[in-house]
């Protein structure tokens, strides 16, 4: 990387371009003072692009994207009523294709309740945990099918595929992250009393990897119980490690209890660095408010912090985080009808 970081930018649909614009503003500003030059290359992808070209993610584009140091991602998805686009095609053939092709096995989703942000929970307590969601296996592999489709005899299956290789690397990542945190605690979430085979692979793997981290404690929760604790006692969580589908569910709930997914950042990380990692807000394209400067760019900006961290620009990452934290804390006094770019500007002002 040297003193250049070379970023692929996929703004996508809806509010994607607006929030990415603010994320880029922050990225440029925070690296400007230092020796790091930021190179940005835009890739037009998403539902709009599909409507224009019929392309989801062409091979050449994927190959080009692979050459960058990291990817900054906005959001994709058509308006809910738009029947011109086959349902889920952009999600699967673009977003999930990127995660799978680039081996983003750690889908990292921090959940933090910032001072000044109202939680929908009456007594949220201190919420500060990260979810390490597996990103390349589980029920997301696309191994489903149907026979006698559309008849009364239809059978549709979905196969969750889990490998020792895939589970071990993400579990080890979770323990590593826990070891660096204050509370040093890992919670495995699964449903091993029903999904016996996948569940026991996860359980055995956690027991095994835990041996390497004597300073880290761990426990286990069924996914149904985890949703209860996220409601009644979220401060019990430090690091959650879980599969692709449970991670999808729990991180949306985690976003909700920490004040909304307008603040939730994520990294799709290839820890082996064989391909670029991708950083994206957890929220979607929100077509209903797109183009109106109503979206909160904070999640996208916090995703930049995760990106900087991954690229080794640790000081810059902390600077962005601290600016965001300050900005958020000051919101108590605001009736927040600022525009997307006003919020971005406010964060930039705090970077100085």
Ligand X SMILES: CC(C)[C@H](C(=O)O)[C@@H](O)C(=O)O
Instruction: Report the C-alpha gap between 136 and 149 in whole angstroms.
Output: 28
- Other CB atoms within 10 Å distance of the CB of residue 97: 16
Task: Note whether 93 binds ligand X by CB under 6 A.
Answer: no
Task: Note whether 1 binds its own copies by CB under 8 A.
Answer: no
The dihedrals phi and psi of 107, each to the nearest 5 degrees, come to -100, 100
- Given the residues 191, 243, 275, 309, the one annotated as active site: 191
Task: Note whether 194 binds ligand X by CB under 6 A.
Answer: yes
Close Cβ partners of 111 (under 8 Å, ≥ 6 residues apart): 127, 128, 129, 130, 131, 234, 237, 251, 254, 255, 257, 258, 264
Close Cβ partners of 166 (under 8 Å, ≥ 6 residues apart): 105, 134, 136, 137
| Annotated binding residue 332 | no
Task: Note whether 125 binds its own copies by CB under 8 A.
Answer: no
Interaction with its own copies in 52-111: which residues (CB under 8 A)? 87-88, 91-92, 96
Task: Note whether 33 binds its own copies by CB under 8 A.
Answer: no
Task: Work out which of 103, 173, 248, 321 binds ligand X, going by CB under 6 A.
Answer: 248
Contact 296, 262 (CB under 8 A): yes
Task: Note whether 134 binds ligand X by CB under 6 A.
Answer: no
Question: What track of x and - describes contact with ligand X for positions 217 through 246 (by CB under 6 A)?
Answer: -------x----------------------
Which residue, 14, 28, 22, 48, is CA-closest to 299?
22
Task: Work out which of 123, 274, 335, 337 binds its own copies, going by CB under 8 A.
Answer: 123
- List the single partner that 116 binds among ligand X, its own copies, none, CB under 5 to 8 Å by kind: none
Task: Work out which of 1, 37, 42, 232 binds its own copies, going by CB under 8 A.
Answer: 232
β-pair type (106-112, 265-269) = antiparallel
Close Cβ partners of 119 (under 8 Å, ≥ 6 residues apart): 113, 127, 257, 258, 259
241-250 per-residue burial string, b: 16 or more CB within 10 A, e: under 16:
bbbbbbbbeb
Question: Which CB, 103 or 248, lies closer to ligand X?
Answer: 248
Task: Note whether 197 binds its own copies by CB under 8 A.
Answer: yes
Task: Note whether 225 binds its own copies by CB under 8 A.
Answer: yes
- Residues at the binding site for NAD(+) are 284-296
Residues at the interface with its own copies (CB under 8 A)? 87-88, 91-92, 96, 118-123, 139-140, 142, 144-146, 148, 150-165, 168, 191-201, 204, 223-225, 227-228, 230-232, 245, 248-253, 255-257, 260-261
């Amino acid at each position: 990387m040297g003193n250049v970081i070379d970023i692929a930018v996929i703004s996508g649909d809806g509010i994607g371009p607006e929030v990415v614009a603010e994320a880029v503003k922050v990225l440029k500003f925070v690296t400007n003072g230092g020796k790091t030059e930021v190179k940005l290359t835009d890739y037009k992808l998403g539902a709009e692009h599909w409507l224009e070209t019929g392309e989801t993610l062409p091979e050449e584009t994927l190959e080009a994207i692979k050459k960058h140091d990291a990817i900054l991602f906005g959001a994709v998805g058509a308006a809910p009523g738009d029947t011109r686009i086959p349902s889920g095609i952009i999600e699967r053939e673009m977003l999930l294709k990127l995660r799978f092709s680039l081996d983003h096995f750690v889908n990292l989703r921090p959940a933090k309740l910032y001072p000044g942000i109202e939680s929908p929970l009456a007594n949220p307590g201190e919420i500060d945990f990260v979810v390490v969601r597996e990103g390349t296996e589980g029920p997301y592999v696309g191994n489903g099918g149907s026979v006698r489709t559309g008849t009364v005899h239809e059978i549709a299956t979905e196969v969750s595929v889990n490998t020792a290789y895939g589970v071990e690397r993400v579990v080890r990542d979770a323990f590593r992250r826990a070891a660096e945190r204050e509370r040093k605690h890992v919670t495995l979430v699964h449903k091993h009393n029903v999904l016996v085979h996948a569940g026991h692979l996860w359980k055995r793997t956690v027991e095994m990897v835990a041996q390497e981290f004597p300073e880290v404690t761990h426990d286990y929760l069924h996914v149904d119980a985890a949703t209860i604790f996220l409601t009644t006692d979220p401060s019990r969580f430090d690091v959650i490690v879980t599969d692709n589908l449970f991670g999808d569910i729990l991180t949306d709930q985690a976003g909700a209890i920490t004040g909304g997914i307008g603040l939730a950042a994520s990294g799709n990380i290839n820890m082996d660095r064989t391909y670029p990692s991708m950083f994206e807000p957890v929220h979607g394209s929100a077509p209903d408010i797109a183009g109106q400067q109503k979206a909160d760019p904070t999640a996208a900006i916090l995703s930049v912090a995760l990106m900087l961290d991954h690229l080794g620009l640790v000081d810059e990452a902390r600077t962005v985080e601290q600016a965001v934290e300050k900005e958020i804390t000051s919101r108590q006094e605001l009736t927040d009808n600022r525009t997307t770019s006003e919020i971005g500007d406010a964060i930039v002002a705090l970077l100085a």
